[in-house]
Amino acid sequence: MKPIQPGSARPLGASWSRRGVNFAVYSSHAKRVELVIFDATNGAEMARYDLPARTGDVWHGLLSARRAGPGTHYAFAAHGANEPENGHRFDPAVMLIDPHARELSSAEPERSRVIDGAFDWNGDRPPATPWRDTVICELHVKGYTQLHPDVPEPWRGKYLGLAAPPVIEHLRHIGVTAVELLPVRRS
């Protein structure tokens, strides 16, 4: 049995199951896409696998559970034309973070990391707002809360500041149903 099978084009990103990890990434102009696996402790490259299948513009493959699971660090290497004048800058030596990664490693350089998608909501339920009713507010935690006069001083510039009742009340008042945090760096 090959270490990587065709897998599925959906969902995009890395999806773990008992069979292994399905990797799917969109690229309409790539000629070939490699999955690159890294050692989680020292960041060294451990293996490369060509994604064996393409459905439309989605490249995909299922890497066996023996080779990948939650915690696996990975990136993509895309092969194709290097024609900047046409907007194509393919360079397989440049490791690409998965645009659909649900977690990034904190090591430098950053890599995508496979997660276990199961989450115990402890009786809580996700909001499940229909897309037609969704209003997303993109914001920086620090920029939004640092100078906010109704956020308690010790909470300003911190995640906790977003949980301040006046902040939540204001976001609800203007119709926001979801908040998307812009780049967050660990200190």
Final residue of a structural domain among 87, 113, 139? 113
Work out the average pLDDT over 134-153: 92
In a domain, 144, yes or no: yes
Work out the average pLDDT over 60-79: 96
CATH number of the domain within which 80 lies: 2.60.40.10
All residues at 6 or more sequence positions from 41 whose CB lies less than 8 Å from its CB, including other chains:
none
Is the same domain home to 102 and 11? yes
CA distance 182 to 138: 6
Confidence of residue 185 (pLDDT cuts 50, 70, 90): low
In a domain, 141, yes or no: yes
Residue 93 has a pLDDT of: 94
Work out the average pLDDT over 125-134: 88
What one-character DSSP code corresponds to residue 110?
P
Residue 105 has a pLDDT of: 86
In a domain, 81, yes or no: yes
Helix (H) or strand (E) holding 73, with range, is: strand 73-79
Question: pTM value?
Answer: 0.69
CA distance 161 to 140: 11
In a domain, 122, yes or no: no
User: How many domains, the chain?
Assistant: 2
Residue 131 has a pLDDT of: 92
Is the same domain home to 109 and 149? no
CA distance 26 to 74: 16
Is the same domain home to 36 and 62? yes
Domain range holding 38? 4-113
Q: How many CA atoms lie within 13 A of 4 on its CB side?
A: 21
The closest of 103, 100, 125 to 113, measured between CA atoms, is: 103
Is the same domain home to 20 and 94? yes
Between 110 and 157, whose confidence is greater?
157
Work out the average pLDDT over 23-49: 95
Work out the average pLDDT over 123-131: 84
In a domain, 44, yes or no: yes
In a domain, 72, yes or no: yes
Is the same domain home to 91 and 139? no
All residues at 6 or more sequence positions from 108 whose CB lies less than 8 Å from its CB, including other chains:
none
What is the residue type of 159? Y
Is the same domain home to 141 and 107? no
Residue 186 has a pLDDT of: 58
133 phi/psi in degrees, rounded to 5: -105, 0
Is the same domain home to 91 and 11? yes
Is the same domain home to 101 and 57? yes
What is the residue type of 81? A
